[in-house]
Amino acid sequence: MMPFFLKLALKSILKNKRSTFTILVVVMLCVFFMEVTIGYIEGMKKEIADDALLNIGHIVLYHKDYHDNLDFMPLDYNIEYNEKIAEKIKNTPNVVSVRPEINFGAIASSEKENIDSIVKAIDLREVKNYEKKIKTIIKGRFIEKDKEFVIGYKAAEFLKVDIGDNLILLTIDRFGSMNATEGKIVGIYKSFILSEDKSGVICSLTTAQKLLGMEGKVTEILINVKDYMGYNYKTLNKINNLRKKIEKAKSEKEKNRILKILNEKYPEKGAEKTAKELKEKLPDHIIAVPWQKDMGYLIMILNITDIWIYIMLGIIFFVAAMGISNSFLINITGRMQEFGVFRAMGVSTKQLFGMILSESFLLGVIGSILGIIPGIILVYYFQLHPIDYSAMGEALEVYKGMDAVMGAHFTVKDAIYTFVTGILISVFASLYPAFIAVRKKPVEILRFIV
């Protein structure tokens, strides 16, 4: 019977052009805004969960005393990095990349000006793992050898330097002596992280080791792993809550009880498990800190973004349902004569109900198609051309690793979800008007018309 209903519904849609147009516009706008909203929030989640964590490392190895004094970055709390240690780390299951670094403060001087700078020294053998940083270069190129620097564009403006100019780094080495090194600026970058753009300098690990008297040593080792989550972020939030309960436990018995639940229900996975394996392989003074423990706030942010999605979709769903329901109600009220004739001809209430739902289904499909296509195009556009929030850069700096450029992110799953939701909104919104139409008896309808 459904094909018959669909044919009848199609004729009705073509016949009642005004109500058809109104309903299609409402469904189209609903689906369009849902797709754009979900796409943009997914883009934000991707920036937080993927790009930010990739930039700052899923696991970071420190000297345990250096980690406790990160605000001061004491260079005497360093860790050895050589081929033997690198091999141990790279042979650990789940490890994808290793990036030894030295991060320290220095005075960057040109012929005209000087500024306080934060210097990041990287291993040129692992330069492939700095793809995101390389993409931020707006002038020149990335460093390729020792005695070369790339600096933030705001730092370059203040120092009044350009590609090819000399730059001097002046700092105190790990023995407490003043030391300096000179090299050429080969690149200028724009990261959209204001602190980096204002004072960031990148050089080779060898250059920094000679400057600081730290040959064979680094301040931290950033490690990226294949499975960095272990659990989805909602489960990670539950794990964090259990850990907080352990910290607040009033007795050892209560603490052990919660710890038992945590270990049995949520055994360590992902970056946390790999961090534990690394700790067992490396010297006692080195600690392996997974991102879940150093940046737990990211889990909270990811959960908040889901709440935003539900709130936004709830609002869109409600407004669309009211608009579609009202349009169907007006449409059905104006077609009472038609329904009365159908009933008088022997069409049952179930058949009439099915006809109205078939009409709403068709309108939902057509409206969803009209809305999803421009929605996908816009999401994909903002995926390729992210929006610059550099004016809010100071606020965004609170979240380590995030930059001020965020775009949308398109997924087929979200598009299908949005498309189906558009159809469901149309069908559910027509239930009440359809119920009103089938409740009336043929005699009542015809008497009402007369």
Crossing angle between the packed helical segments 270-281 and 83-90, to the nearest 10 degrees? 140
pLDDT on residue 188: 97
Mean pLDDT across 26-45: 86
pLDDT on residue 354: 78
pLDDT on residue 300: 75
Q: What is the 3-state secondary structure (H, E, C) of 60-121?
A: EEEEHHHHHCCCCCCCCCCEECCHHHHHHHHCCCCEEEEEEEEEEEEEEECCCCEEEEEEEE
Give the DSSP H/E element, type plus range, for residue 180: strand 178-189
60, 221 contact by CB (below 8 A)? yes
Identify the residue whose tokens are 């159908």: 342
The closest of 321, 333, 280 to 426, measured between CA atoms, is 321
237, 300 contact by CB (below 8 A)? yes
What would the two tokens of residue 165 be? 């100019």
159, 81 contact by CB (below 8 A)? no
200, 191 contact by CB (below 8 A)? yes
Q: Which residue has the higher pLDDT, 317 or 207?
A: 207
pLDDT of residue 6 exceeding 70, the answer is no
The closest of 224, 192, 216 to 56, measured between CA atoms, is 224
Kindly list the domain boundaries of the chain, sorted by start residue.
2-52+297-449, 73-81+95-225, 231-268
DSSP state string for 123-152: -GGGGGGGHHHHHTEEEE----STTEEEEE
Alpha-carbon distances, residue 239 vs 236, 249, 272, 299 (angstroms): 5, 15, 12, 11
448, 336 contact by CB (below 8 A)? yes
The closest of 318, 433, 425, 330 to 20, measured between CA atoms, is 330
Cβ-Cβ contacts under 8 Å for 292 (sequence gap 6 or more):
230, 236, 239, 240, 271, 272, 299
Q: Determine the Cα–Cα distance for residues 77 and 279; give it in Å rounded to an integer.
A: 17
> Strand pairing of 286-290 and 114-122?
unpaired
pLDDT on residue 328: 73
pLDDT of residue 397 exceeding 60, the answer is no
Please state the pTM of the whole predicted model.
0.69
Identify the residue whose tokens are 């010297």: 283
Q: Determine the Cα–Cα distance for residues 249 and 270; give it in Å rounded to an integer.
A: 27
pLDDT tier, 404 (very low <50, low <70, confident <90, very high otherwise): low
